[in-house]
Amino acid sequence: MDHKVFPRYSRCEFIFHFIEKDTSRHHRLRTELRQFDPLPSNVKVSPHHGEFQDVIEGVSESLDSRNRRLAPTLAFVDPFGVSGVPMELISKFLDSRKCELFLILMVDHLNRFLSAEHMRGGRDSLFGTSDFSEVEAAPAGERIPLLVDLYKQQLCDVAKFQYALDFEMRRASGTVPTTWSTPPAASPESRSSKTLCGRVEVASQVWCNGGVGRRFGW
Ligand SMILES: C[S@@+](CC[C@H](N)C(=O)[O-])C[C@H]1O[C@@H](n2cnc3c(N)ncnc32)[C@H](O)[C@@H]1O
């Protein structure tokens, strides 16, 4: 909160929305956020307790009712699994040239359960399509890059993002397979591993849209 940008842009308002559906995690989040008090006068923090979709729809409706558009936004979406983040919602909410999305796509989880009946609804909604024929036709070991490409393609086709870049997160052990990543110049920091039924879960991050691409010269 002592970042120099806050006083420098003293006439701008910086709003941080946090969305957490789990009650105990939401309480913990509020506790963590209190550490930053007192906030600079042009910074507001808003921890929401609820489903991502409901909160985002509420914010959109509030803006619509006041005939306002979303301010330039960086949305960091980091759910567990694949449900609750529909492409349709991403498309509608970030429908502005100055909005950017940084999303963690749980590709290993998707790959394992690609055609499982219980995953289909969440999978199709996340990607905004039910056509996974190309991915399903590929050998299991080659599906992950296809899933990442499909998600990026959908971001461009459905949500009209101008740019999409993917890179993979590495565990501290550095054991993540690297056959498909397109790392940016600066790699993301290592994170602790997540395991799923004894397997390391691979997450791909997709970062996209015009503003950030132009700034970084991609
Ligand atoms: C992977 S963790 C987030 C970790 C956090 N980004 C970090 O780096 O510390 C995912 C969190 O999102 C919450 N979550 C998952 N799906 C959600 C949804 N649809 N709506 C709201 N919260 C959700 C989970 O309860 C969980 O606390």
Give tens-digit pLDDT for 166-203: 888 766 665 443 322 222 223 333 222 222 222 223 45
**133 near 103, Cβ under 8 Å?**
no
Q: How far apart are CA 11 and CA 42, in angstroms?
A: 7
Q: How far apart are CA 51 and CA 21, in angstroms?
A: 5
Distance 151 CA to ligand 1 centre (A): 20
Q: Would you say residue 160 lies in a domain?
A: yes
What confidence tier does 134 reach under pLDDT thresholds 50, 70, 90? Answer: very high
In the prediction, which pLDDT does 96 show?
77
In the prediction, which pLDDT does 209 show?
53
Q: With a 6 A CB cut-off, is 61 part of the ligand 1 pocket?
A: no
Q: Would you say residue 196 lies in a domain?
A: yes
Q: How far apart are CA 52 and CA 82, in angstroms?
A: 12
Q: Which domain holds residue 83?
A: 74-216
Q: Would you say residue 169 lies in a domain?
A: yes
What confidence tier does 217 reach under pLDDT thresholds 50, 70, 90? Answer: very low
Q: Would you say residue 108 lies in a domain?
A: yes
Q: Would you say residue 41 lies in a domain?
A: no
Please, what is the average pLDDT of the chain?
79
Q: Would you say residue 29 lies in a domain?
A: no
> How big is the CA angle at 157 (ends 152 and 158), to the nearest 5 degrees?
100
Q: Would you say residue 130 lies in a domain?
A: yes
Give the number of domains in the chain. Answer: 1
Q: Whole-structure pTM over 0.85, yes or no?
A: no
Model confidence at 53: pLDDT above 80: yes
Atom 14 in ligand 1: residue holding the nearest Cα: 79
Q: With a 6 A CB cut-off, is 86 part of the ligand 1 pocket?
A: no
Q: How far apart are CA 96 and CA 15, in angstroms?
A: 17
What's the first-to-final CA gap in the chain, in angstroms?
Answer: 29
Closest by CA to 194, choosing from 106, 119, 112, is 106
Q: With a 6 A CB cut-off, is 98 part of the ligand 1 pocket?
A: no
Q: How far apart are CA 90 and CA 83, in angstroms?
A: 13
